[in-house]
Amino acid sequence: MTLWFIVQYTLKKNTVNLEKLLFAHDNLHACHGQPNAFQRIFPTAVLLPLLSSSCCAIQLIINALSGWGCAGFNTYLGPIRPILLPMLLFSTWTLLPQRSLGWTIISLFLGFLPELVDIWNTTRSQQWQQKHKDMQLSSTSSSPLPVAAKLRLDIPTMGCVSCVNKVDTSIRQCKSAANIREETSWLTDDGSAKGGVAELSIMARTNEEVDAIAQEVVTAVK
């Protein structure tokens, strides 16, 4: 809801500038001839949505194909996202009669991918915690684990929801994931620290086992 009000306010403030930008875009094509299909589609259906999402799709691909971690797109594009999103919505509405529904859906999907990833992270986290809560109830009735510990990791390199997704996945794929009862990661947006935080509860038989699990988690997150 807050994002919607920001978009509405920014759109009203920048309507004249957006119209000038589109007018200049049309004049550019008028001077250099009719654009081909790639020139018509790529800037507004791919490039602008990518910039509006702080290149969230690119970061997801980086996370999936390598262990490089956060590329820092959100550090530079995040502050201007409230301006880029209205530009995306305005261009989408203006060009709606000129391009197919499929490209419009792709454009909006790319532009609002951070919100979709955040919903996915929240849903998956709730499902994962419910699954381990059920496992905890069954283990408590049979052979409860006597040692409990809470681990909190400050991760300064975590800069966007794609990185949150990567951290959650890395922790939940640990060999000792069955000993992790609760796990959640989030970005620190209060200005107290850069990056994000991962917090989890560990259940084990001995203190040494807790230390080994904690070390495994730290290694997986790096």
pLDDT tens-digit readout, 112-157? 999 999 999 888 888 877 776 766 656 555 566 778 889 999 888 8
Is the pLDDT reported for residue 35 higher than 80? Answer: no
pTM of the model: 0.69
Is the pLDDT reported for residue 109 higher than 90? Answer: yes
Q: What's the CA gap between 37 and 40, in Å, rounded?
A: 5
Q: Report whether 155 contacts 195 (CB < 8 A).
A: yes
